Structure 1
Amino acid sequence: MSREEILQDDEHRRVVRVGDTVRRPVHPWTPAVHALLRHLEEASYPYSPRVLGLDEQGREVLTYLEGESGPRGWAKVVGDAGLVSFARLLRGYHDAVAGFRPPPGLSWFTGEAEPRDGEVICHGDFGPWNVVWRGDRPAGILDWDYALPRPRLHDVAYALEYVAPFRDDAECLRWLRYPAPPDRRRRLELFAGAYGLPSAEGLVDAVIGVQRDGIERVRELAAAGRQPQARWVAEGHLDDLGGRLAWSLAHRHLFE
């Protein structure tokens, strides 16, 4: 076998590249994720990795998506063209997955199974860090472990927290690659239009709702001993999430 290149060296999730493949640990919800990825492959959806099975160590084997990802993704969505491409990528995924229903007996990381009326299998972690870019164009979507049944608006609101963004000016300038404080209202409206929403009405409330849900999910998973959520709580991450929610509530006028 080819040499392993470490892509993520988290103690609870070590991800490596081997040749043109990625090897990742499996979880109880991995069969549901694989069913989703196989559906996308059968639908000729070009932006998802392909499932190649398990290796001799019991790790899942996926195709490697060539391009820039992780922290480099933040700069890609600062400009209008990148933000529009990011929104259209999400819409294209939602359209591709609209008819998918997981086989009986499978469940997602939340323990839920089939989507209810009005729901699709959302990506669940659709942020700039999980998009692969080639130049200024999206070329793939990574990390499907947090896929879950929700209305499409869940992914939209989750993405908007990071790309509108629902962050203060100092963080935008220091960490998120903005050359000047962003016009958050305009960016929210631009994303909504590119995704295909008739308006941006209700999106601020949707983002705040997703932030609240995220806090509760981290708390519940940590209480059940799930990692990395248990470590996050031990390190005080719930305080960080609460601070972000408080900022959104206090600054919603910047978006409306």
Structure 2
Amino acid sequence: MTGTTDDSGGDGGGEVLQNGPHRRVVRIGDTVRRPAAPWTPTVHALLAHLAAAGFPYAPRPLGFDERGREVLTHIEGEAGPAGWARIVDDAGLAAFARLLRDYHEAVADFTPPPGAVWSAGPRPFEPGAGDIVCHGDFGPWNVVWREGRPVGLIDWDHARPAPARHDVAYALEYAAPFRDDAEAVRWLAHPGPPDRPRRIAHFCAAYGLPSADGMVDAVARAQRETTEVVRRLAAAGHEPQATWAAEGHLRELDDRVAWTLAHRHLFRPRTTGDRE
């Protein structure tokens, strides 16, 4: 990940990776320092499990520094907005899906610690009903890429107990994408209108699902849940969600669900009788 040098002196000349008004993330040496939250100890327990399981793509938790910030190992590579272009072609899309599958396999035997706190609010953990601890924010911006392949998965703040299908649906919203053609071309690096049904099928096959049946409804459910989580965090005063709500972002999230439901035809595989 790349950023700018901190000239303020407050971080000892560290590299600023993210400088939002409510979340400043800096790299100091081989570590990343991020503001801690009530759920950070739970996330560190998850990351410690992944380290013990040999999952090589997650940062390792190193505790907290003298300023109370969480300290993680740094993963070198390209992340953030650049990740969109990496999942446009079939190879990148499949690698994105396999990374998610590898995470789900590594986390399958993780049990949250007593008193676990989640950013999404209180969540029961019911492994007998198919629950795992999902990443919760598995989008292309949170994957670190190096030489055309994923080498890291970052930003674990939204981890939560849920069926694995939640992570799959969340990822597909952005991988398909569940956006109109103009946005896909202008902002998401697609060279032309995406073949959404084929991309969904390709992702699901690479992940290891037997079919992509029901995925449009699953994406709509994930979109609704995301909206509710943002609304809850905003109401509790957490940032950046409170700012998002003040700026009207919740309406945008509601509009995304409406778009999905109004454009189901874009996600149906074409038949030979379909017109162009």
TM-score (norm 1): 0.97
The CA deviation string for residues 132-189 of structure 1, in whole angstroms up to 9 with x for no partner, is: 0002110000100000000000000000000100000110110100111110000000
Matched, 1:42 2:56: no
Aligned equivalent of 2:222, options 187, 199, 210: 210
Give the letter for the 1:43 counterpart.
Answer: A
Give the CA deviation at 1:13: 1.2
Give the CA deviation at 1:220: 2.1
Aligned equivalent of 1:139, options 130, 151, 157: 151
Q: Structure 1: 5+ residue runs without aligned partners?
A: none
| Corresponding residue of 2:36 | 26
Tell me the number of residue pairs that the alignment of Structure 1 and Structure 2 aligns: 256
Query: Tell me, what secondary structure is at the counterpart of 1:16?
Result: strand
Aligned equivalent of 2:232, options 220, 235, 256: 220
Matched, 1:185 2:197: yes
- Higher Rg: 2
Q: Is the 8 A contact 1:184 1:254 kept in 2?
A: yes
After TM superposition, the structure 1 stretch with the greater mean CA deviation from structure 2, 103-112 or 179-188, is 103-112
Give the CA deviation at 1:113: 5.1
| Corresponding residue of 1:108 | 118
| Corresponding residue of 1:251 | 263
Give the letter for the 1:132 counterpart.
Answer: V
Return closer, same or farther for 1:114/1:39 CA change in 2, 3 Å cut-off. Answer: farther
State percent identity of aligned pairs.
Answer: 65
Q: Structure 2: 5+ residue runs without aligned partners?
A: 1-10, 269-276
Matched, 1:148 2:156: no
Counterpart-to-counterpart distance in 1, 2:106 and 2:156: 15
Counterpart-to-counterpart distance in 1, 2:92 and 2:122: 33
Give the CA deviation at 1:226: 2.0
| Corresponding residue of 1:51 | 61
Query: Tell me, what secondary structure is at the counterpart of 1:17?
Result: strand
Give the letter for the 1:136 counterpart.
Answer: G
Matched, 1:7 2:17: yes
Matched, 1:60 2:73: no
Q: Is the 8 A contact 1:172 1:181 kept in 2?
A: yes
Counterpart-to-counterpart distance in 2, 1:57 and 1:88: 37
Matched, 1:236 2:243: no
Counterpart-to-counterpart distance in 2, 1:159 and 1:144: 14
Give the letter for the 2:37 counterpart.
Answer: H
Runs (4+) of structure 1 moved beyond 4 Å? none
Question: What is the aligned-residue RMSD (CA, Å)?
Answer: 1.2
Query: Tell me, what secondary structure is at the counterpart of 2:174?
Result: helix
Query: Tell me, what secondary structure is at the counterpart of 2:243?
Result: helix
Query: Tell me, what secondary structure is at the counterpart of 1:188?
Result: helix
